[in-house]
């Protein structure tokens, strides 16, 4: 019997809650290897057992995902009325009540598919932003048949390379993010494999490569990095770092580049194969099966294996493909986050500068079109094992080396971020204050400041915002207020009622670039709502209550836990200054 994890249950509950209150199309964000297929299957089973007349379509772009999602459905519910419509899988079961389909096979067949009540789109970040795509034309056709059609997007990366968040912008198909499970929390909870990184000496130079459609021009990129000496040096480093690792995956910048990398692996005695978009199905399946069995140590690809590829044993990823796409970067690194017997972590060797370009994968925030960059965050190298870690870390997460308290040395060439942010630090809370924060041209928010010894940390709760930010603010309020205490509609009302909130006994904080973010909360098991007291004239309540900051940008959804709740990503300075 398959058992849902707490965050998977929370994701399903969030979908029901969203459509109980709104009429738009929502996104659910679950990290790679976090079990989106099981979430979809459990949600579909629940819908059809409650409303048997509903018809549900699950659409994606890769045949492996179609087969995987269908298998997960049958594994959870063997009697499910499920079928497949995919030319690549040789099936066209158009009338199935639960239909798993490839968009390439059905985009012109809305009439054949017929009345549909709900569409789930897996890997929703791959839907182009314009309104004249296969997905949009197909969904428009289904909407003409059923104007009440609802669409849910599932993805690990809710943003595109050239147009920001999936639910933002003029042509956005989705209107909100209903739920998001933070990758850092899933790793810390043991649901995903940790990621570690080491600083390679070899660097790919793309300083003269131009940009088109938000990413490097493919032909020019391949020409810039496919150099014999660089390939030999990079492969030599991969072999040295991977001597105790069993399953290597390398992402390359072009087909010829990938072939040259594979040839170099062979010359140095490492079993290696390549996979491309045009690799025949039978050959591809055989290669992947041999890779999973351990018969092939290294697998090299170009343009594939970033979605729909499930090889839990991968314990080394070599990034030989520079990209400006935050989503592609997260998808590549995410191939190493699956759990496997005997696997302690996955090593990421970034020859391409992607970690420096985008930051740790759990803190990636896409730039909107025309938005400038923010520079690099400082890092240091572990002198024992060469791991790249955050400057603020006091202990190496890979080998356990403890850094001397006053001797922080930064190698001048090690200007890359760690692939995963450092673990959170828990601080006791001695007092909490609440104030109104007015932002020029925006909605006011509730500023919550935590006193933790000589330092304070602030964050912002978006009481008066709409959509996802308001939903998260409401969730925060309900977790801290007495039963029956309604969620306030305004910041001023929230300040008046703040005395009714429980105060956390501790908060967790972690570095986020130049700032520090409040990332979690602990409440004493016997904590009680304090007696009401009158607010001061300035609207400030000291020593009462506690909150999770939700700043209106993409934030981490709360994970159900006995004592810890993942927070949003409101950024603060060490003294509580606004980011």
Predicted confidence at residue 3, as pLDDT, reads 85
Domain span including residue 72: 6-181
The DSSP 8-state label assigned to residue 125 in this structure reads: G
Domain presence at residue 399: no
Predicted confidence at residue 537, as pLDDT, reads 32
Same-domain status, 326 and 466: no
Domain presence at residue 397: no
Predicted confidence at residue 545, as pLDDT, reads 28
Token pair for residue 154?
């599932």
pLDDT for 302-360, tens place per residue?
Answer: 988 877 788 999 999 999 999 988 888 888 999 999 999 999 999 999 999 998 888 78
Predicted confidence at residue 388, as pLDDT, reads 57
- Torsion of Cα atoms, 115 then 121 then 124 then 127, to 10°: -40
| Domain count for the chain | 3
Same-domain status, 176 and 203: no
Predicted confidence at residue 164, as pLDDT, reads 67
Same-domain status, 252 and 209: yes
Predicted confidence at residue 309, as pLDDT, reads 83
Domain presence at residue 398: no
Domain presence at residue 187: no
Q: Which of 88-97, 166-175, 176-185, 475-484 has the lowest mean pLDDT?
A: 166-175
Same-domain status, 116 and 222: no
Domain presence at residue 153: yes
Higher pLDDT, 227 or 443: 227
| DSSP codes joined into one string, 323-376 | -S-HHHHHHHHHTT-S--TT---EEEEESSSHHHHH--GGG--PPPTTPPP---
Among the candidates 153, 181, 209, a domain finishes at 181
Domain presence at residue 414: no
Of 406, 423, 408, 421, give the one whose Cα is nearest residue 513: 421
Same-domain status, 225 and 152: no
Same-domain status, 166 and 287: no
Of 104, 74, 78, give the one whose Cα is nearest residue 89: 104
Domain presence at residue 458: yes
We report the CATH number of the domain holding residue 337 as 3.40.50.300
Gap between the Cα atoms of 293 and 297, Å rounded: 9
150-155 and 118-122 as β-strands: parallel, antiparallel, unpaired?
Answer: parallel
529 — pLDDT class (breaks 50, 70, 90) = low
- Judged on CB neighbours under 10 Å (0-12, 13-18, 19+), 26 is buried
Residue 75 has pLDDT above 80, yes or no: yes
Residues 424-441: b if buried by 16+ CB within 10 A, e if exposed = bebbebeebbbbbbeeee
Residues 6+ apart with CB under 8 A from 575: 455, 456
Of 27, 145, 45, give the one whose Cα is nearest residue 97: 45
This model's pTM is above 0.85: no
Same-domain status, 244 and 372: yes
Same-domain status, 201 and 344: yes
Please count the other Cβ atoms lying within 10 Å of the Cβ belonging to residue 452. 17
Token pair for residue 223?
């020409």
Token pair for residue 149?
């059609």
Helix axis angle, 218-225 relative to 255-267, nearest 10°? 20
Predicted confidence at residue 376, as pLDDT, reads 41
Same-domain status, 349 and 437: no
Residue 139: phi and psi, rounded to 5, are: -65, -35
Residue 393 has pLDDT above 60, yes or no: no
Report whether 505 contacts 527 (CB < 8 A).
yes
Report whether 338 contacts 192 (CB < 8 A).
yes
Same-domain status, 336 and 437: no
The pairs formed by 284-292 with CB atoms below 8 angstroms and a separation of 24 or more are 291/247
Same-domain status, 199 and 150: no
Same-domain status, 114 and 219: no
Higher pLDDT, 229 or 453: 229
Report whether 542 contacts 432 (CB < 8 A).
yes
Higher pLDDT, 202 or 542: 202
Predicted confidence at residue 413, as pLDDT, reads 32
- Judged on CB neighbours under 10 Å (0-12, 13-18, 19+), 83 is middle
Domain presence at residue 579: no
Predicted confidence at residue 356, as pLDDT, reads 83
The DSSP 8-state label assigned to residue 412 in this structure reads: T
pLDDT for 345-378, tens place per residue?
Answer: 999 999 999 988 887 887 776 555 444 443 344 4
Predicted confidence at residue 514, as pLDDT, reads 59
Among the candidates 363, 390, 417, a domain finishes at 390
Coil/strand/helix, residue 54 = coil
Among the candidates 390, 410, 440, a domain finishes at 390
Instruction: Report, as an integer, the average pLDDT of 39-49.
Output: 96
395 — pLDDT class (breaks 50, 70, 90) = low
Cα separation values, 577 from 430, 452, 460, 501, 514, Å? 19, 15, 11, 23, 12
């Amino acid at each position: 019997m398959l058992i849902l994890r707490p965050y998977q249950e929370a994701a399903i509950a969030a979908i029901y809650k969203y459509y109980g209150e709104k009429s738009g199309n929502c996104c659910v964000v679950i990290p790679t290897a976090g079990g989106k297929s099981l979430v979809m299957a459990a949600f579909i089973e629940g819908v059809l057992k409650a409303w048997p007349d509903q018809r549900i379509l699950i659409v994606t772009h890769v045949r492996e995902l179609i087969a995987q999602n269908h298998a997960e459905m049958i594994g959870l519910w063997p009697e499910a009325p499920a079928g497949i419509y995919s030319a690549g899988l040789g099936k066209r079961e158009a009338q199935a009540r639960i239909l798993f389909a490839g968009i390439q096979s059905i985009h012109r067949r809305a009439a054949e598919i017929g009345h549909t009540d709900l569409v789930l789109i897996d890997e929703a970040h791959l839907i182009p932003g314009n309104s004249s795509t296969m997905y949009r034309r197909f969904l428009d056709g289904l909407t003409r048949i059923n104007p009440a059609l609802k669409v849910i997007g599932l993805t690990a990366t809710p943003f595109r390379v050239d147009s920001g968040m999936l639910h933002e912008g003029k042509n956005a198909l989705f209107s909100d993010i209903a739920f998001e499970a933070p990758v850092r929390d899933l790793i810390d909870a043991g649901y995903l494999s940790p990621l570690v990184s080491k600083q390679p000496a070899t660097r790919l130079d793309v300083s003269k490569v131009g940009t088109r459609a938000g990413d490097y021009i493919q032909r020019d990129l391949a020409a810039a990095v496919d150099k014999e000496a660089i390939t030999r040096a990079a492969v030599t480093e991969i072999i040295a770092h991977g001597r105790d690792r069993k399953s290597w995956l390398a992402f390359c910048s072009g087909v010829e580049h990938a072939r040259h990398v594979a040839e170099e692996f062979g010359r140095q005695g490492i079993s290696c194969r390549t996979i491309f978009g045009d690799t025949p199905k039978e050959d591809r399946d055989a290669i992947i099966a041999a890779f999973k069995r351990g018969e092939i140590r290294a697998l090299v690809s170009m343009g594939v294996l970033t979605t729909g590829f499930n090889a839990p044993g991968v314990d080394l990823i070599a990034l030989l493909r520079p990209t400006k796409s935050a989503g592609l970067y997260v998808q590549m690194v995410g191939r190493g986050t699956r759990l496997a017997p005997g696997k302690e972590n996955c090593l990421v060797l970034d020859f391409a500068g992607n970690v420096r370009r985008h930051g740790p994968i759990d803190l990636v925030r896409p730039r909107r079109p025309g938005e400038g960059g923010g520079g690099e965050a400082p890092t240091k190298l572990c002198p024992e094992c060469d791991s790249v870690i955050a400057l603020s870390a006091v202990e190496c997460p890979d080998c356990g080396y403890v850094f001397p308290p006053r001797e922080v040395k930064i190698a001048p060439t090690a200007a890359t971020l760690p692939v995963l942010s450092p673990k959170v630090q828990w601080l006791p809370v001695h007092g909490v204050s609440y104030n109104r924060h007015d932002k020029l041209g925006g909605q006011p928010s509730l500023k919550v400041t935590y006193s933790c010894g000589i330092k304070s940390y602030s964050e912002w709760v978006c009481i008066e915002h709409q959509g996802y930010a308001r939903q998260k603010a409401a969730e925060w309020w309900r977790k801290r207020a007495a039963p029956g205490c309604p969620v306030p509609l305004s910041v001023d009302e929230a300040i008046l009622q703040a005395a009714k909130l429980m105060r956390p006994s501790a908060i967790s904080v972690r570095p986020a670039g130049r700032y520090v973010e409040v990332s979690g909360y602990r409440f004493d098991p016997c904590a009680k709502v304090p007696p009401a007291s009158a607010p001061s004239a300035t609207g400030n309540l000291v020593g009462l209550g506690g909150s999770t900051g939700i700043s209106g940008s993409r934030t981490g959804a709360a994970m159900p836990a006995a004592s810890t709740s993942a927070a949003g990503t409101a950024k603060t300075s060490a003294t509580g200054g606004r980011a």
